[in-house]
Structure 1
Amino acid sequence: MQVFELSKSFINAVYKNISMKKYLILLITLSFVTTTIQAQVDVKLRINHKSGSQDFKFNDVVTAKDGYNIRFTRLQYYISKIKLIHDNGKETVLEDVYLLENAGMKLTHDLGNFDIKYLEGIKFSIGVDNGPNPNPNDPSNNTTNHADPNLWPNSHALALKSPRMHWGWSAGYRFVCMEGFSGPSTNFSCEMHALGDANYHEVDLVAGAEIINNEMVIEINADYLESLYNVNMSSGFYLHSVGGKAVTFLKNFQQRVFSASMEPIKNTTGVGSIKGHDYQMKFQPNPSDGPIKVTFKPKGNSTYLFQVFNLQGKLIEKYELNGSNAFEIEGLSVGIYHGVLLENNEAIDIQKMVIIR
């Protein structure tokens, strides 16, 4: 299924050259098409690895929240049970998707192709779930966290890895492996391998996404210094466990480590938003058998203009807003129209409106 993306720069070209009227006609036609088909899009996930405010790097000496020096030499963890929240609260569950994240690498994970118009949030769990094993090569009744990693293809996240991410069938997978050195000269060895079914927790983020090269890219931040909250490694540390400070450590991954890189913006195609600001243009009621009230959220002291076009690209109405962010459109004949909002003569949003009788 093909989906047409409306480009803000394309809209603005129309206003810079009146001879490009035919392109406005095409634009409006394509805009109508996008309202009648599903927004199939490839969704990607990227994690921005951080040590506080700086980028995470192995062997960089950084200062933990408690004031001691630490440098990391290994940091890997599993992500599973991913859920995408989108389009007014719909939840799409990604079945049988397992990611092995490495903080030393900038990875882009392909989550799949979905019917999503705009993203509102993402949920995921740290570790490997204790649910039914999706491996078609495994005839046992073992759950995913306690199944045989040898039966997964080598390329799969749950296959045997080096260094190891599996601790045996009984204990299951290591959810997070963190290793490094601490102390004034960072010569005290530190190891935290945290695991356990009871420590499998869900992260819940309100997050937006950007459309990059026709793909929806979700970026989230991960500050790994937050994982050490109430986990003191100043004099060295060693724990491979389901209990003790491993519980605190994995709770920190759930509650403190991750944050959204971008807030939700309703229109992720770039029309209707300039990064960091959602104009929230709304038509009420729509469809309407009478007047339509238009509202939007202005930015700063900008000047705004609103124009109404029919499907043939003919300008029907023009409103100079003069500081108002709410007004009514009256007197339109039955039909389908498109309203275009301009900020400082730059087109920033285009939406369909329908008049019925």
Structure 2
Amino acid sequence: MTVKLPLPIARYFQAANGDDADLVAAGFAADARVRDEGRDHLGRDAVRAWADDARRRYRFQAEPRSLEPGPDGGVVTAHLTGDFPGAPADLRYRFTLTGDEIASLEITLRPPEAEFCGRRVLVTGGVQGIGAAVVSRLRRARASVFTTARTAPHDLEEPDGFVAADLSAPEGVARVAEAAMRRLGGLDVLIHNVGGSSAPGGGYAALTDDHWTDALNANLLSAVRLDRALLPTMIDQGYGVIVHVSSIQRVLPLYQSTLAYAAAKAALSNYSKALSNEVGPQGVRVVRVSPGFTETDAASRMIERLARAEGVETGAAREGLMRSLGGIPIGRPNRPEEVADLIAFLASDRASAVHGAEYIIDGGTVPTV
């Protein structure tokens, strides 16, 4: 997928991947400055000599993977392959433009622990369980993360990176989209984690139209509406990643307790695949993550509801839930941090060729290929 770059920056990468140092230098202002490997190169002639020296010493190919726009240029993260020391590597190119020329360029190595540096991320349902683990994981990798939930917890770490809203309602989606864009100034990664089930057990006969509507709004339409609000920004910049968090229940529905939830997650998966086919050519990757039984607060609440409905202890309800899934071959549920690590990988440039796919993390619960 091609990142949309300002024309002078696009011309630079095209020239840098060729063998013509004159063409590289032609894109710079006469008094331009390039800083690379801790050394300054001042003026167009020095830039030409720098480009020529780099090509004589190494063979390399730079693939721009993201752009952080700025008022007078921006920062491009590019993946470099070749025969240079440390290859392959991710580099950050900080451009300052003047008109249609490059006034300055600074090239630095992006350290692995800062793989999301400069990335603007929205995580829905990000204050507990898997969502909270994702927020923590991405912030450690230096992403700018905005998150949302129906209510704010008392111990919220970054209040200015949160808005309370009900994403099952159209007005809640509009509020989140507006707040995220205002706070972040744009969006690079959208992680739909919000969802869940509050319907009673008892199978199909226990579910009213309201239960079905609630499940569809929370688990399907929240993502559909938020994508519709924010995708134009990603398409316009030529870069974006959307991660839809589904569930293995889309293929292993539990009719006793989560029938409507499972059906909504199946619909989300179908929608996600179709969306990936539409927006992939425009620079936006769309992937799905389907966790199995994960030890979250929400899972604990569901186990308590099952225990009350069945008149058993919570431990027995937990074991019963694992058995109803066919068992977990590794002998335990997921941990939220494990799911967060998978989501972080899929949202990163390391997964730049991963698109339209579903990744199951369930300890082997799904028994089919």
| TM-score class normalised by the smaller sequence | under 0.3
Higher fraction of strand: 1
Q: TM-score, normalised by structure 2?
A: 0.25
- TM-score normalised to the size of structure 1? 0.25
Q: Which has the higher helix share?
A: 2
Which structure is richer in relative contact order (CA contacts within 8 A, separation 6 or more)? Answer: 1
Rg comparison, structure with higher value: 1
